[in-house]
Amino acid sequence: MDQYDHELDPFSSESLWRLSKFSIEALQPLESLPWNISLSDPTSCLQIPKQATDQVDPVWKLDLFPIGLEPTEPTAESSIDPSVDGSSDASGGLLNDISSEEDDFWHPDSTQEDAVQHIPQKSWEKYHDRPFQEPMSAYVSESGAQGFDAVLALQRATRGQSAHRIVRTEVFMRSLLRLGLGWSSAFFRWDPLNSQFKREVKDFRVSGISSLALENVIEYVLHIGTLMQRMRTFAQDPPAKCKELPALYTLSGTTAAIIFILEQQISDHSKDVVSLLQIQALFHRCGDLVGALAAIVGAAQRSISDAQVISTVMERAASFTQRFSWMENLFHEIVIRVTQPWFKFVENWVGLRSEETALSQVLASGRSFVRLEIDEPGKYKTGPPRVDHLYQAQHMPSFIPADQARSIFESGCSLQLLRSSHPDHPIARRDVLSRSGGIQLHCATTWADIEKIQTKAQEYELSLRAEIEKYHRGNSSRTHLPSEDTAQTVDIGKTFELFDIDGEETIHGPIKNSTALSRDTFHELIGKARKIEPGLNDQMDSLGPELASSLHLSIAPILASQALLIDYSCLHHLFKEHRLRHHLSLQWRFQLLGEGSFVSRLSNSLFDPDMESGERRAGKIRSGVDTGLRLGSRDTWPPASSELRLVLIGLLGDCYFGTGSTDDSEKSHIRQDNELPGGLSFGIRELSDEDIDRCRNPNAIEALDFLRLQYTPPRVLESIITTRSLNKYDQLFKHLLRLLRMVSAVKGLVRDSTSRESLSGDVRNVFQKFRVDAQHFVLAFSDYCFHIGIGSIWQRFQETLAKIERCINRGDIDGTIEAAHSAPRLRDYHEDILDQMLFAFFLSKRHAQAAKLLESIFGNILAFGPLSSADGKGYRCESEGAVSDLYQNFRKQTSAFVGYLRSMESGKATSKSMAKSGTFFSSRTDPTSVFEHLRVRLDMKAYY
């Protein structure tokens, strides 16, 4: 080699292109081997001695890419393969009592070789050296379950503890699956006393699993199994109060369907379970569902009414929907089913469904938002008992707003009125409801479904409007449909196919009918909920409001349309057929002394001293012409009943028929029956013994408190002119009679001063000053009561009635509802008008002190009456001292009363009696303080 070769760096790549200095001569081809013909078998040298089948592992059968791992040898403590990964037939005997195992041709395991024919794999060392034995691996991770069990046993031995018993993996997994489904097994038993599962075997372990890991899995599955068994008990044996609460019974049936479908799906998926981790994953989503369902059921069982059950289920379902979004549709379905019985009752109540028998049963039970109040006929009354419907807000579900809840109740009350008086009205007939579309209440959870409900409600309203207009024109035709009982029989066969409440199959619970449960909607919903991620299309289709708003928005359009038509129909019949406005005007004319001729004749009959006395006297015949009670000019009091009849007979009839406000047809009809509308007549008020004693004093303000007007409205009009309103009319009539008495008394004081024999003389005389002040006070107060307390308030009421009547005459449904809202609201407004009058007359509880002060003022004036009359006749008899004392008391009392009026603020002096009618008619209330009118009349020049 040259110098360059010695200096070449062996690690350099610069000379790689150069040719090598070494050369190899080409090999000469080998000569062919001579063939030995004497050999007996040419292939005998290549043969391998035959061995046992389990020891043969030829190269051509070596599987370099195995699918499964080599199974480990079973331990002495276990008789089955303890490996977690196990062979493919490890789960063959699992849960045979739950579901039958079928061969799946398309299962991946079917493509592998049979375990019997698969020859165990060997290493290269054993291939070259047949007697070679594989050494034990030094790594625990490669030793399988045997190594793991050995480490755990060594660890416990080191601590001085005995080793756990190792149970058969197949048996334990079968028991664990039964535990998760809420069934007893060899390892776990249900304790009915404590309502939980107990462990029958303790201190055991499964090969290849640590005690801590096994305990965590057992605790998780044990909790799920306990809840499953509790839910199954609730479904199979519902509580006794389920018979009284339809919503709770429906929840029991819903729970039965969910539990049955869960069992079915878990049983189907348990065929491929071969490890504890798979069991835990199998019950993962199931545990969330069962836990949420148990919380809902537990809260609902503490409820005492259907409304509480519905509200509780809805609130809990909405909460769990936020936590478990993948089960949103499932929770919605639970709420929909639980609310269905309540929806059916509302449909019957507002007339969307015609099942009067079922409605009567629910109303009689008193467990709904409507309570019946039956007023039995009294001692002096005849006829059927009066039935009133009272609203119970505590029985209304929480998702119903207060205004909508009130509208539902009022619509039903108006419908009951229509059904009782006009059974052929379209809105009360099944054939018309069928032609109009037969709309029903149900819950929609998406915006698209809510829009469909609104469209259907509009179509239903237009159709029913046309039917109502034809009925009012007299063109309505009736279509004969099957009877109510027949229709119910047909419907029950279909509707209660799943849960027949009275059937023998479900007498112990609704879980008996497994065929129907298999076809239930929950089967698909639970299957979707068990998926890890719902599809994007499902999320887009389920876009909608939150659950409470969904329920409200689903029923609001239908209920609003139904309420509109019911209220208009009811108002139309009240105003057009039953002449409501005429009966209300009758109360104003006579009860409120609004008719001048009646007031004049009544005042003369009661107080005019120039009228002929109607008292019985020996040798004198009472003619009844120009006869009066002459209160204030007689010594005997109260008058006899015969004297009252003689004086007041014909007074009401003459005033009623003498006016031109009554139609001629109405007059002729009433004259023929010889009775005024509502049996209007004078009567005797029932008084206590203390009040009777006061009435016996003719100089007392209570002398006429026994006299009253009797009026009984027609049965249909009792919805507006109620017993409460009649009591208020009676209270106002008593107060107005006292006021007429005072007006007559002060007029008598003026006559005394103008008499020829009067000793008044100087205007500064105490008698004359008392007369003038008393007349000013009484006339000012009387003018205030008739013009402000009654006149202005009643005028507002009349304007409302006139507007309603004009809209009804035009057939304007929307205008009628805008003016009156509904018959119950009009009734409340009528009572509020009477409350405002009582408020203006100081007859409310807020002004009891002012009312007593007024009675004292009137008492002083009446006490001064006999002294003034004696003075007018020229007989003072040294009464100036008594008159002076009375006058001083009068001045003090009137000054105190005017001071009371001054002290009242404008806001506090305004009537707040709009609680029942709400804000619907509040804009028609005079913003000025009603007592300000009285103060100006009494003290314009600050006299007091």
* HEC string for 764-812: CCHHHHHHHHHHHHHHHHHHHHHHHHHHHHHHHHHHHHHHHHHHHHHCC
Same domain, yes or no: 447 and 407: yes
Same domain, yes or no: 436 and 469: yes
Same domain, yes or no: 792 and 871: yes
What does the alpha-carbon distance between residue 601 and residue 315 come to, in Å, rounded to a whole number? Answer: 67
Would 13 be classed as within a structural domain?
no
Same domain, yes or no: 352 and 404: yes
Enclosing domain of residue 867:
711-938
* CATH number of the domain within which 898 lies: 1.20.120
Phi/psi of residue 620, nearest 5 degrees: -130, 130
Would 551 be classed as within a structural domain?
yes
Exposed/middle/buried for 396, CB within 10 Å: 0-12, 13-18, 19+?
buried
Q: What pLDDT, on a 0 to 100 scale, did the predictor assign at position 486?
A: 42
Q: What pLDDT, on a 0 to 100 scale, did the predictor assign at position 880?
A: 79
Exposed/middle/buried for 641, CB within 10 Å: 0-12, 13-18, 19+?
exposed
Question: Which tokens hold the place of 164?
Answer: 């756990």
Question: Which tokens hold the place of 640?
Answer: 């006899």
What does the alpha-carbon distance between residue 708 and residue 685 come to, in Å, rounded to a whole number? Answer: 6
Same domain, yes or no: 727 and 639: no
Same domain, yes or no: 546 and 598: no
Would 523 be classed as within a structural domain?
no
Same domain, yes or no: 412 and 375: yes
Domain boundary among 574, 605, 634: 574
Q: What pLDDT, on a 0 to 100 scale, did the predictor assign at position 927?
A: 44
What does the alpha-carbon distance between residue 517 and residue 526 come to, in Å, rounded to a whole number? Answer: 13
What does the alpha-carbon distance between residue 644 and residue 535 come to, in Å, rounded to a whole number? Answer: 88
Would 331 be classed as within a structural domain?
no
∠ CA 319-321-323, rounded to 5°: 75
Residue ranges, the chain, pLDDT below 70: 1-10, 12-123, 136-137, 162-163, 376-384, 436-437, 475-520, 523, 529-542, 614-626, 659-674, 755-764, 874, 876-878, 905-928, 941, 944
Domain boundary among 544, 574, 604: 574
Would 876 be classed as within a structural domain?
yes
Question: Which tokens hold the place of 273?
Answer: 């379970």
Alpha helices in 422-446 (DSSP H): 430-435
Tens digit of pLDDT for each residue in 506-564? Answer: 333 444 455 666 666 776 777 776 664 544 444 445 678 888 888 999 999 999 999 99
Whole-number Cα distances in Å, 305 to 461, 554, 616: 33, 23, 66
The H helix count followed by the E strand count for the chain is 33, 10
Same domain, yes or no: 562 and 630: no
Place of tokens 């499902």: 538
Would 683 be classed as within a structural domain?
yes
Exposed/middle/buried for 473, CB within 10 Å: 0-12, 13-18, 19+?
exposed
Q: What pLDDT, on a 0 to 100 scale, did the predictor assign at position 32?
A: 56
Q: What pLDDT, on a 0 to 100 scale, did the predictor assign at position 34?
A: 59
Same domain, yes or no: 623 and 664: yes
Rounded to a whole number of angstroms, the distance between the first and last alpha carbons of the chain is 150
Q: What pLDDT, on a 0 to 100 scale, did the predictor assign at position 617?
A: 59
Same domain, yes or no: 666 and 758: no
Would 208 be classed as within a structural domain?
no
Same domain, yes or no: 630 and 601: yes
Number of compact structural domains in the chain: 3
Same domain, yes or no: 594 and 556: no
Would 315 be classed as within a structural domain?
no
Domain boundary among 636, 654, 687: 687
Q: What pLDDT, on a 0 to 100 scale, did the predictor assign at position 509?
A: 42
